[in-house]
Structure 1
Amino acid sequence: MPALFNANKTSAQLLADFAADAWGKSPSEPLKLRYLMVFDLFIKARSYALLNKFFFGLALLAGSALLVWPVIAFKLDSIGVGYSAMVQTSVTGLAALLFALYSHYKKRQTYAENLMRHVIFSNEALELVFEKVQKEMERMDQGFVFSETLAKKNGSDAKPAD
């Protein structure tokens, strides 16, 4: 059990390790299915964690470039590239985009971890938990669909025509 508790893990890794330890080798079919659901969510949370770390690193570099922009602009001007407001605006826009992507994937990671917690700690009947989590996973897998968003804004719950 001491290997289970390590401060260098994400919450998703901790929850997946707990489920593997508690339910992974259980002869009980409901516990095996609960473990399967937790591990499926762990895969999503891990993917989102990798993406948010990647975009955080890029955002940190772009943010640092903005902080030292006066020096960069001076050096570019001295070699004849020029001190361009357009370049500075582009770097600022890129930094904002990278921070937005980091934030997006961090929220997704946290959401997947919260679903894992729901599977592990919920007192609801297993069928209800699976149904709720499966609907949320379908929504996560679907991603963003622009036409459905427009239909909801217009007050229509009907699916848009293809």
Structure 2
Amino acid sequence: MPTLFSPNKTSGRLLVDFAADAWGKSSSEPLKLRYLMVFDLFIKARSYAILNKVFFWLALVAGFALLAWPVIAFKLDSLGVGYSAMVQTSVTGLAALLFALYGHYKKRQTHAENLMRHVIFSSESLELLFEKVMKEMERMDQGFVFSETVAKKAAAQSDAERPEG
């Protein structure tokens, strides 16, 4: 049990280790199914955590490049390499994209870990619990859904324009 509780784990790893310890070797079919669901969610959370870390470090490097840009631009200009403003704009856009991707995957990782918590701590029936988790997993698997965002904005705008009465 002491290896279960370590501050060097992600929340997802702690939850899956707990589920493996508590339910992994159980003869109870519902507990095995809960463990399966937790482990499936852990695979997603771990994948998102890896992507999250990659984009975090890339965004951090791009952020430092933006901070150091005046020195970089001066050196480029002194070497006779032009287009400093275009390159700076491109680096700024890349940094923004990397920060956005980091935020996206961090949010997905947190959501997957929250679903793991829900499976472990929920007292709902298995059928209802699995149905809710499966719907959320389907939504997570869709990735970026720009049309959904546009539709929500359009619906909110039409609701705001509608007269109350």
Considering the TM-score relative to the shorter chain, is it more than 0.5?
yes
Between stretches 60-69 and 79-88, larger displacement belongs to: 79-88
1:2-151 mapped onto 2 (5 Å cutoff): 2-82=2-82, 84-147=84-147
In the alignment, structure 2 segments of 5+ residues that lack a partner are: 156-165
Could you report, residue by residue, the CA deviation over 1:54-85 in whole angstroms, capped at 9, with x for unpaired residues?
00000000000011111111111121112621
Aligned partner letter, 2:20: A
| 8 Å Cα contact 2:37-2:119 kept in structure 1 | yes
RMSD (Å) for aligned C-alpha atoms: 1.6
Q: Compute the TM-score of the two structures, normalised by the length of structure 2.
A: 0.88
Q: Percent identity?
A: 85
| 8 Å Cα contact 1:74-1:83 kept in structure 2 | no
Q: Compute the TM-score of the two structures, normalised by the length of structure 1.
A: 0.89
Aligned partner letter, 2:81: V
How far apart are residue 125 of structure 1 and its match? Answer: 1.1
Between stretches 31-40 and 120-129, larger displacement belongs to: 120-129
Aligned partner letter, 1:88: Q
Between stretches 77-86 and 9-18, larger displacement belongs to: 77-86
How far apart are residue 13 of structure 1 and its match? Answer: 0.5
Which consecutive segments of 4 or more residues in structure 1 shift more than 6 A? none
Instruction: Give the match's secondary structure for 2:77.
Output: helix
Could you report, residue by residue, the CA deviation over 1:20-67 in whole angstroms, capped at 9, with x for unpaired residues?
000000000000000000000000000000001000000000000011
Could you report, residue by residue, the CA deviation over 1:66-115 in whole angstroms, capped at 9, with x for unpaired residues?
11111111111121112621111111111011000000000000000000
Instruction: Give the match's secondary structure for 1:25.
Output: coil
Aligned partner letter, 1:67: L
Instruction: Give the match's secondary structure for 1:82.
Output: coil
How far apart are residue 144 of structure 1 and its match? Answer: 3.4
Between stretches 132-141 and 27-36, larger displacement belongs to: 132-141
Q: Figure out how many residues of one structure are paired with residues of the other and give that number.
A: 155
| 8 Å Cα contact 1:12-1:46 kept in structure 2 | yes
